[in-house]
Amino acid sequence: MADLSLAGNRRRTTPRLSLNWLGVVPYFGFTLLFLILPIFYLLNGAFLNAEGQYTLENIVALTRADIWPSYWLSIRLSFASALIGGLMGCLLAWALQLGGLPGWVKRAFLTFSGVASNFAGVPLAFAFIATLGRLGLVTLILRDTFGLNIYAAGFNLFSFWGLAVTYLYFQLPLMTLMMMPAMEGLRKEWREAASSLGASGAQYWRMVALPVLAPSALGCFLLLFANAFATLATVYALTSANFPVVPIVLFQQIRGNVLYNPHLGYALALGMVIIMAFSNTLYFILRTRAERWRK
Q: Is residue 143 part of a domain?
A: no
Q: How confident is the model at residue 260 (pLDDT cuts 50, 70, 90)?
A: confident
> What length is written for the chain?
295
pLDDT digits (tens, 9 = 90+) for 39-63: 899 899 999 988 889 999 999 999 9
| Domain limits for position 61 | 22-119+172-294
pLDDT digits (tens, 9 = 90+) for 275-290: 988 988 888 888 787 7
Give the CA distances from residue 40 to residues 43, 71, 114, 136, 211, in Å, rounded to whole numbers and listed in that order: 5, 22, 33, 45, 39
**pLDDT for 8:** 53
Q: How confident is the model at residue 98 (pLDDT cuts 50, 70, 90)?
A: confident
Q: Is residue 282 part of a domain?
A: yes
Amino acid at 154: G
Arithmetic mean of pLDDT, 21-41? 87
Domain count of the chain?
A: 1
Q: How confident is the model at residue 239 (pLDDT cuts 50, 70, 90)?
A: confident
**pLDDT for 194:** 86
Residue 86, pLDDT > 90, answer yes
Q: Is residue 126 part of a domain?
A: no
Q: Is residue 60 part of a domain?
A: yes
Nearest to 63 by CA among 271, 212, 255: 271
* pTM attached to this predicted model: 0.85
Q: Is residue 131 part of a domain?
A: no
- CATH number of domain containing 217: 1.10.3720.10
**pLDDT for 17:** 61
Q: Is residue 166 part of a domain?
A: no
Q: Is residue 14 part of a domain?
A: no
Q: How confident is the model at residue 143 (pLDDT cuts 50, 70, 90)?
A: very high
Q: Is residue 207 part of a domain?
A: yes
